[in-house]
Structure 1
Amino acid sequence: MIEVNDIHKSFGEAEILKGVTTQFEKGKTNLVIGQSGSGKTVFLKCLLGLFEPEEGSICYDGRTYSSLSGDEKRDLRQEMGMVFQGSALFDSMTVEGNVTFPLEMFTKQSKSEMQDRVNAVLKRVNLIDAHHKYPSEISGGMQKRVAIARAIVMNPKYLFCDEPNSGLDPKTAILIDNLIQEITEEYDITTVINTHDMNSVMEIGQKILFLKNGLKEWEGTNKEIFKTDNAAVTDFVYSSELFKKVRQMYIEERN
């Protein structure tokens, strides 16, 4: 579990986060949504330990980040997996090389142990025959699966995803959503996903945090988001005609 307690983050005179309090449970897909400029990226970087808030605290299973020593912070970061928006694979490395990289950097495992672990995670993301291919030789959806494999190869307690469906067609995006949710539940990981994709919200939003202007405007589940009367949330969620129709159908069913 990650507990966020009244965090504030500023850059110069610009206050980006203005006192956000929430918690993310393990074994669930926790989504962070909001318009551009709402503070989502800064919030995620605070969770990753890349930014440290001026006020408030972030606790990881009872460990308050600001109270940890340098070595303890380093150890905590090794418990984190990250899926970047553009996958961020090394073009000069094969799929196998990309996934092996964290093990080589941060563990003392033998080559056979690393190979076994890489084989296991590539199998889990359905990339059994892609070991020796380069990123340029595989599709965008396959690149995302490689990024997920790399993120979980260290068996993290916390998984962070920044727009994991960016650039994917709708069908592939759903497959990636389902994969992330399955892995979250199987490994009992605390997963936090920054997204603009409302399909993701509706499909896997077991917990949704909506930020607006650096504040927590609303939080709840993908079922509860249909029921809210919060104007900022409804304006964001139902900005497309499709979701306006979905909401109208929900209201009519209730009546």
Structure 2
Amino acid sequence: MIEVKGVEKGFGETPVLKGINAVFEPSKTSLIIGQSGSGKTVFLKTMLGLHLPDKGTISFNGTTTESMSSDEKRQLKQDIGMVFQGSALFDSMTVEENVMFPLKMFTKQSKEVMLERVNFVLNRVNLVNSNQKFPAELSGGMQKRVAIARAIVTKPKYLFCDEPNSGLDPKTAIVIDKLIQEITDEYEITTVINTHDMNSVMEIGEKIIFLKDGLKEWEGSSDDIFKTDNEAVVDFVYSSNLFKNVRKVYLEK
């Protein structure tokens, strides 16, 4: 579980996060949404430790990051998997080498043991026999699956995804959403997804946090979004006629 209490973050004279409180639970896909400039990317990076909060605390399973020892911080890095926007694979490495990279960085396992784990996660994301391919030989959806395999190869307790469906067609995006949700449930991972994809919100939004101007404006599930009367959320989520019509049908039930 990840618990955020009163987190503030700014750059120079510009405040970005303004006292955010949130809890992210295991086995649940939690989505962070909001307009550009709402603070969602800074929020994600602050939880990852890429930014230090100016105020407030971030706890992983009850231990705040500021109170962790060097060994605990190193273990936390191993316990976190990350799926970057655009996949962020190493072009000069094969699929096998990309997925094995975190194991080489965080463990002292033998090559045989690492390869066994690599093959297991590649099988889990339906990429059998792709070990020796290079990223340039893969489709966007396949690259994203490699990124997910790399993120879970160290058996993380926490999974962070930054715009995982960026650049994907709608059909492939649904496949990636379902894969992330399945892995989250299967391995009881605490998953936090930063997204602007409203289809993801509707399909896998077990918990949704909506940020506006650095504040947590709203929190709920995909079902709750259909019923909310929060004007900021309604304007953001139902900016298209499609979702407006979906909401209208839902409320008329």
Q: Same fold (TM over 0.5)?
A: yes
Which residue in the other structure is 2:195 paired with? 195
Q: Which amino acid aligns with 1:41?
A: T
Instruction: With the length of structure 1 as denominator, give the TM-score of the two structures.
Output: 0.98
Q: Distance in 2 between matches of 1:31 and 1:108?
A: 34
Which residue in the other structure is 1:234 paired with? 234
Which residue in the other structure is 1:127 paired with? 127
Which residue in the other structure is 1:118 paired with? 118
Spell out, residue by residue over 1:54-80, the C-alpha distance to the aligned partner (whole angstroms, 9 max, x if none).
111011001101111233222211110
SS at structure 1 position matched to 2:42: helix
Which residue in the other structure is 1:218 paired with? 218
Residue 39 in structure 1 maps to residue 39 in structure 2: yes
Q: Contact 1:49–1:77 (CA<8 Å) still a contact in 2? A: no
Q: Distance in 2 between matches of 1:72 and 1:182?
A: 28
Spell out, residue by residue over 1:29-60, the C-alpha distance to the aligned partner (whole angstroms, 9 max, x if none).
00000000000010000110111101110110
The count of corresponding residues between Structure 1 and Structure 2 is 253
Which residue in the other structure is 1:75 paired with? 75
SS at structure 2 position matched to 1:78: helix
Which residue in the other structure is 1:8 paired with? 8
Q: Which amino acid aligns with 2:197?
A: D
Which residue in the other structure is 2:19 paired with? 19
Q: Which amino acid aligns with 2:250?
A: Y
* CA-CA distance at 1:122 after TM superposition: 0.1
SS at structure 2 position matched to 1:188: coil
Residue 64 in structure 1 maps to residue 64 in structure 2: yes
Q: Distance in 2 between matches of 1:85 and 1:10?
A: 23
Q: Distance in 1 between matches of 2:86 and 2:6?
A: 30
Which residue in the other structure is 1:209 paired with? 209
After superposition, the CA RMSD in angstroms is: 0.7
Q: Distance in 2 between matches of 1:70 and 1:233?
A: 41
SS at structure 2 position matched to 1:23: strand
Percent of matched pairs sharing the same residue: 71
Q: Distance in 2 between matches of 1:56 and 1:176?
A: 33
Q: Distance in 2 between matches of 1:90 and 1:3?
A: 32
Q: Which amino acid aligns with 2:177?
A: D
* CA-CA distance at 1:25 after TM superposition: 0.4
Which residue in the other structure is 1:88 paired with? 88
* CA-CA distance at 1:97 after TM superposition: 0.6
Spell out, residue by residue over 1:181-238, the C-alpha distance to the aligned partner (whole angstroms, 9 max, x if none).
0000000000000000000000000000000000000000000111100000000000
Q: Distance in 1 between matches of 2:205 and 2:229?
A: 18
Which residue in the other structure is 2:55 paired with? 55
SS at structure 2 position matched to 1:72: helix
Q: Distance in 2 between matches of 1:67 and 1:127?
A: 40
Q: Which amino acid aligns with 1:20?
A: I
Q: Distance in 2 between matches of 1:152 and 1:43?
A: 22
SS at structure 2 position matched to 1:223: helix
Instruction: With the length of structure 2 as denominator, give the TM-score of the two structures.
Output: 0.99
Spell out, residue by residue over 1:115-174, the C-alpha distance to the aligned partner (whole angstroms, 9 max, x if none).
100000000000002111000001000000000000000000000000000000000000
Q: Contact 1:103–1:109 (CA<8 Å) still a contact in 2? A: yes
